[in-house]
Amino acid sequence: MFLPTKDWSLLRAPWFAAAFLMAWIAGFGNASAEPSKQNRANPSTIAKQTSKSHAITFASVDGDVQITSEFAGGRMNGCQQVSASEFAITIHPERDQINDSAWYAFRIDSTQPRDVCVRLNYVGGSHRYDPKVSRDGKTWMATPQWVTKRHPLGSEVELSIPLDGKPIWIAGQELIGGEVLQRWTDTLESLPYVNRSVIGQSVQGRPLHRLDITDADRPDYVFIVARQHPPEVSGAIGMMHFVETIADASPLSEQFRSRYCAAVVPMVNPDGVAQGHWRCNANGVDLNRDWAHFSQPETKAVVNQLLACRKTDDGRLCLFIDFHSTFDDVFYTTPPKANLFPQGFTDQWLGAIQGRFPAYEVNRKANHNLQRSTSKAYVARTLGVTAITYEFGDETDRETIRTVASGAAEEMMRLLVNLPAGTAEPSIADRGAAESTDLVAVGADPKR
């Protein structure tokens, strides 16, 4: 399974040289910036395709295999044919010096059933996501068994892919992009107590949507955001189940909505998702490190909504949850003694989730990243409100995500409907003492 670097070089050396020579003769040694007809390989002459763009289309020498990343969420920066049935794909991040969440997504079309070997070569990162595959671009299946070789440093993996003459999508995670979110929000919006609004635009002009789920005229608020980081799909799946539970027909959810509003921004970074980014928005900024500067239109739009929740006459902001993904399921929280409103909520909530799922380990890491400009740190430090980063594991079983996220939403609602009315939210002026004593900086996990 594990080959040293030199063996990888030897394996591909003869075909690499031949393919490179063919590409050079054909004049395709230079990269082109944007997806266009120039990026499309001519099947009769080209065996290599490279580009600074994440969206290119490659054709095999015999013309029967096409590999493309020219779709929303696609990422493949280069492709070359190594032998009749072997292809080497290059994956770049959107900028240098970036969190190592190496996203890839491409589709292979062929008319003949055949087995192909595809090598993923990562530039500036390493393999994180085992492949998920789809035959229709909608339903997905995890296929870790397709990974037949891994470079020990993760710089290259080899996938063995059975083609059946029909298109096949291969991506780091399920493709849950703008279109899927649109259908999801359309379904929710058909409910009488769900309203959608556009709260701003991304750098590239994509709308930023907010859903309000409430039956109350002057509600207290739970504010939920997701997808600041494009590849963190398991977090988005968790957010969707969490929100669907708040919107369901159970007596508990009805009771919750009679007093609270769940304000949801389901995709904070639509440009990054559409362009298959590893981490950033279209300006190359990590949005979850922009919650002190608010230099980007996406973070500005969200924080304006968040602050407006505190300005309503009777409403209070009671909880902020930011959904992400990392290697395992984990709640990144503020310190247990932090003086946040509602007092003691985090302990009670995570305890209730653990009590509900005894066989599931509720993993809490307190004091995470509080020195950084993250959403959670901003809300806790500046607004004095309980803020939690809710992470699901990259490869956590999707049914487990559904069960735990739905249960977590119910336990949250059960606690909040019992919160005494009129309990004062701490004023911003009161935050000074808590900030200097409780919210101290500790080590950070760069994967988050």
Residues making contact with Zn ion (CB under 5 A):
229, 232, 324
For Zn ion, which is the closer residue by CB, 229 or 368?
229
CB of 201 closer than 8 Å to CB of 211: no
User: What value, to the nearest 5°, has the Cα angle with vertex 419 and ends 265 and 432?
Assistant: 70
Taking alpha carbons only, the member of 283, 274, 245 closest to residue 262 is 245
Distance of CA 257 to the CA centre of its chain: 27
User: What is the nearest approach in angstroms of Zn ion to the Cβ of residue 389?
Assistant: 8
Give me 306's structure tokens: 């968040």
Pairing between β-strand 330-333 and β-strand 260-265 as defined by DSSP bridges: unpaired
User: What is the nearest approach in angstroms of Zn ion to the Cβ of residue 229?
Assistant: 4
User: What is the nearest approach in angstroms of Zn ion to the Cβ of residue 330?
Assistant: 11
For Zn ion, which is the closer residue by CB, 210 or 368?
368
Give me 37's structure tokens: 């007809």
Taking alpha carbons only, the member of 148, 172, 165, 140 closest to residue 54 is 172
Looking at this protein, which amino acid is placed at residue 263?
A
CB of 335 closer than 8 Å to CB of 321: no
Q: How far apart are CA 203 and CA 354, in angstroms?
A: 40
Which residues have C-beta within 8 Å of that of residue 406, sequence separation ≥ 6?
241, 242, 244, 245
Helix (H, G, I), strand (E, B) or coil at 322: strand
Query: Which residues make beta-bridge pairs with 220?
Result: 260
Q: Tell me: cis bond preceding 144? Omega within 30 of 0 counts.
A: no
CB of 122 closer than 8 Å to CB of 155: yes
For Zn ion, which is the closer residue by CB, 347 or 445?
445
- Torsional sign, CA 328, 332, 337, 340: negative
Give me 436's structure tokens: 């200097």
For Zn ion, which is the closer residue by CB, 19 or 226?
226
User: What is the nearest approach in angstroms of Zn ion to the Cβ of residue 374?
Assistant: 9
For Zn ion, which is the closer residue by CB, 130 or 232?
232
For Zn ion, which is the closer residue by CB, 161 or 280?
280
For Zn ion, which is the closer residue by CB, 130 or 286?
286
Residue nearest to Zn ion (CB): 324
For Zn ion, which is the closer residue by CB, 232 or 298?
232
User: What is the nearest approach in angstroms of Zn ion to the Cβ of residue 391?
Assistant: 7
DSSP state of 42: P
Taking alpha carbons only, the member of 412, 395, 106 closest to residue 256 is 412
For Zn ion, which is the closer residue by CB, 127 or 229?
229
User: What is the nearest approach in angstroms of Zn ion to the Cβ of residue 199?
Assistant: 21
User: What is the nearest approach in angstroms of Zn ion to the Cβ of residue 190?
Assistant: 30
User: What is the nearest approach in angstroms of Zn ion to the Cβ of residue 232?
Assistant: 5
User: What is the nearest approach in angstroms of Zn ion to the Cβ of residue 28?
Assistant: 36
